[in-house]
Structure 1
Amino acid sequence: MKTTLLVMVAAGLVMGCAAAGSKIDHAGPETAGRGETEMETILSSRTLSVTIRCDPGKVYEFVTNPENLPKWAQGLGGSVRKQGPDWMVDTPQGPMKIRFADRNSFGVMDHYVTTPSGDEVHVPMRILANGSGSEVIFTLFRLPDMSDEKYAEDMWLVERDLRALKDLLEK
């Protein structure tokens, strides 16, 4: 089965993941339920979206093709390559592995980024039909120990990449 590229391996998240060097499921404790002996982790998040005047199927096919990533995710540089069963991207922090959700008919384009330190970060991304066009939705988690400034920068980078995707697909 062909692996799916979750197109929004946006530079901001990849850079933030590398800088934070932590797994999403091992963030600092923020909440605990009654009677629980271990702390649950809940990260703050921001869901970013862009409306694209393009058929959802076409957007999905474009985004899930890893070779298209350098065309719209500027912060990742120009290098995406297949290495065995994995896709690798070269970043200023070093090479990062990307593992994608299986192809599906639900518009799920999630992916997992493995940072140079070996931590794996889940990156949720979806495409929804919006009339005759599409809505691309990207959730950016605030990683543990991430400063307000770094989180704001990551949001700006993701928004920039979403605008680039829109511009490219609406041509």
Structure 2
Amino acid sequence: MKDRLLKVFILEDQPMEAELTKRAVLQFAPNAMFTMAATEEEFLQKIQWGEHDVLLADYNLPGYNGLQALLHVREHFPYLPFIFVTGTLNSEQKAAEAILQGANGYVLKDHLEALERSVVNALAKADERRSLNQEKIRRQQYRKLMLQKATTILQATADFPEKTMLEQTLREVMSEI
């Protein structure tokens, strides 16, 4: 992490809390770059600016909350690791809800020393998910190519009783990929 350029998005309405989170990140990722947002409007605008490696968000924000931000991220940026950095998730129910909604974890503001472990774990899981998804896409592309080859070969063959049925079956299978 020391040499990696880490692009961090911080969603926090309290400037001092945002600064403390930023300093905690800089301790384990000195080359980190930050995008900061304090409101829903800022968040929705700035999240579009570019790719981020991790999002650190407070749970309670004025007129907005971290779960709403999490749902937005999961819908639009499914691989972006999302970690709550908050003082209010000490309720087991809230913590469980956050995790079930797709958060990669949470760190309490009075235990920022745990942030490095949470970020490293979240980044590793996101990399793994990306790799699995890329492999899935590669397999789908390969299947589609094989089906296209089979269709081309079938079209070049002489007519036989089941040819129309086979062509229809191949079209149906290709439409599902």
Regarding TM over 0.5, the answer is no
Larger radius of gyration: 2
Question: TM-score under structure 1 normalisation?
Answer: 0.26
Higher strand share: 1
Question: Looking at both structures, which has the greater relative contact order when contacts are Cα pairs under 8 Å and sequence separation is at least 6?
Answer: 1
